[in-house]
Structure 1
Amino acid sequence: MLALACCISSTAVGQEKTGNKEGFALKPGTVKIILMRPVIGVGEQSTGGLYEPNADWTTQARGHLGTALSEAQTQLGNQVMPYEESAGPEGPLVTQYSQLFNAVADSVIEYQFFPGNRLPTKKRDKGFEWAVGPGIAELKSLEGADYALFISTHDEYGSTGRKMLQIVGMLGGIGVTSGVHQGYAGLVDLKTGELVWLNADRQMGGDVRTPEGAQKRIRQLLEGFPGKPVALTTAQP
């Protein structure tokens, strides 16, 4: 068990969190970015480790994260506009692209950010080559923009039963995690569908159910954004 724990620890230490397409640069004031509707899910982790959505927590998080994003988007050095939900009948298709972005981000974490898991075609010398597909260029609701900024957060707060199981596991020498807090932020080139920047972490901080926690989460999500650094003010209770 100790050897396994050391192995897991060294893997976590070696994990990368940010990637850029080779040669990509984003000069402030030169492009238009569409901020896609964030994908936000908040719930409880049951004793058995299952995710149980909580509508109230998700609503709280959506409001706090939205406020933090509104402040952050004015600091990204380029014109950042929120996606117009009423732009047309493409809503379901846009939602699919958000889900596809999440799947791609998961793959980047698993097969490129973890050095030990890198696929032969994803080695460091092969560059950062990921995409959601060229079809995104055909979306009429994104016309006139250069990039789409996708943001996704998923939080599971450990239930009392899960926390108790974690304590029992520790006493028995068995590792049991309590809570899941992951987030992804990425830029997609709307001409090619290529993912040109990604910041992804499966161990994010900030309780998104609070204003302060939501600001912390947004700072972490936009860390390393290819432009101006984001520094949000401290939210007041």
Structure 2
Amino acid sequence: MLSQRTCAIGPNPLPRTAFRGAWLALSLLAGLALSGCTSTQVRTATDASGKPEHIVGTVVLVEPDIELYAVGAGGMQEPREAWTLTARREFPIAARDILQAQGVPLKGDFMLPKDAGPENKLRQLTLLNQAVSISILSYARGDALRNKHGKFDWTLGPGVAALREATGADYALFTYIRDSYTSGGRAAMRIIGFLLLGGDVGGGMQIGLASLVDLRTGQVVWHNLLLDQTGDLRDPKGAHETAGDLLRGIRR
């Protein structure tokens, strides 16, 4: 029986994923230790006058990259296909509801073709966006998105034109989520670890990245990192809560 997560006694390790190297880099570059259950890092690009950029045009939700895992008593991450399929279904519904409630005009969701291999330009674009997100976490400071030279310069380049042509949208919303849940055995191990070792041996954690990219210019205009020890993507209510945290700060 898998239990719902509770707030951690101390910091947790990031889950293992198909993008293991990238998510390990995210862990190191974010430099965060949760002081509570949920932490976000929202950053918004600014215009020439220094005001936050607003969405002017339509948005397409790119197929979310989501994987869910169970954390066994020994701390190993075990992929759970049924949970993952539920999350991949419920999260886009919740994200659309939240964006529509804010008055954001949406295009139909964009799904990568099942046969899209590594050479596919649109698949390459999603991987590029992930790499840029890691760079943002590495170099960004304060509320504005800035590169290591102190200038706003985060872009995916002209290749975004292919996605605009495929969707007809002005912006693309990219989301990545890795979510893990502690088993009863692991929960017991955490308690024992705290009592005997004075620290947390780690449990479940929800980690999300989201970025809004202007498909007319390639610029990243909004970005968020979510770390959550209580979120749950396995039901509609939990998916809506996660979507609300991950999409916080998008401006219409």
TM-score range, shorter chain: 0.7 to 0.9
For the 8 Å contact 2:40–2:224, the answer to whether it is kept is no
In the TM superposition, what are the counterparts of 1:9-28 in structure 2 within 5 Å? 12=34, 17-23=41-47, 24-27=52-55
In the other structure, the counterpart of 2:61 is 35
- Alignment pair present for 1:208 and 2:233: yes
Q: Normalising by structure 2, what TM-score?
A: 0.69
Separation in structure 1 between the aligned mates of residue 185 and residue 105 of structure 2, nearest angstrom: 46
Q: C-alpha displacement at 1:220, in angstroms?
A: 0.8
Kindly provide the amino acid, as one letter, of the partner of residue 97 in structure 1: L
In the other structure, the counterpart of 1:161 is 185
Of residues 54, 58, 67 in structure 1, which corresponds to 2:84?
A: 58
Please list every run of 5 or more consecutive structure 2 residues that lacks an aligned counterpart in the other structure: 1-9, 12-30
Q: C-alpha displacement at 1:185, in angstroms?
A: 1.9
Query: Can you list the C-alpha shifts for 1:109-161, whole angstroms capped at 9, x where unaligned?
Result: 3443699xxx9826xxx255433333222346446322111122210112333
In the TM superposition, what are the counterparts of 1:1-237 in structure 2 within 5 Å? 12=34, 17-23=41-47, 24-27=52-55, 30-85=56-111, 92-112=120-140, 121=148, 126-139=150-163, 141-142=165-166, 144-171=168-195, 172-203=197-228, 205-227=230-252
Q: Normalising by structure 1, what TM-score?
A: 0.73
Q: Which has the higher contact order (CA 8 A, sep 6+)?
A: 2
Query: Can you list the C-alpha shifts for 1:6-53, whole angstroms capped at 9, x where unaligned?
Result: xxx99645x7611112325225xx412111111111111234433221
Identical aligned residues as a percent: 31
For the 8 Å contact 2:67–2:84, the answer to whether it is kept is yes
Is 83-92 or 141-150 further displaced after alignment? 83-92
Is 15-24 or 214-223 further displaced after alignment? 15-24
Separation in structure 2 between the aligned mates of residue 158 and residue 58 of structure 1, nearest angstrom: 15
For the 8 Å contact 1:51–1:156, the answer to whether it is kept is yes
For the 8 Å contact 1:147–1:187, the answer to whether it is kept is yes
Structure 1 residues 168 and 99, CA, compared in 2 at 3 Å: closer, same or farther?
farther
Query: Can you list the C-alpha shifts for 1:65-109, whole angstroms capped at 9, x where unaligned?
Result: 232123223224232113344889868433333233333333433
Separation in structure 1 between the aligned mates of residue 130 and residue 189 of structure 2, nearest angstrom: 30
Please list every run of 5 or more consecutive structure 1 residues that lacks an aligned counterpart in the other structure: 228-237
Is 95-104 or 180-189 further displaced after alignment? 95-104
Separation in structure 2 between the aligned mates of residue 147 and residue 121 of structure 1, nearest angstrom: 25
Kindly provide the amino acid, as one letter, of the partner of residue 248 in structure 2: E
* Larger helix percent: 1
Superposition RMSD in Å: 3.4
For the 8 Å contact 2:207–2:227, the answer to whether it is kept is yes
Separation in structure 1 between the aligned mates of residue 110 and residue 139 of structure 2, nearest angstrom: 33
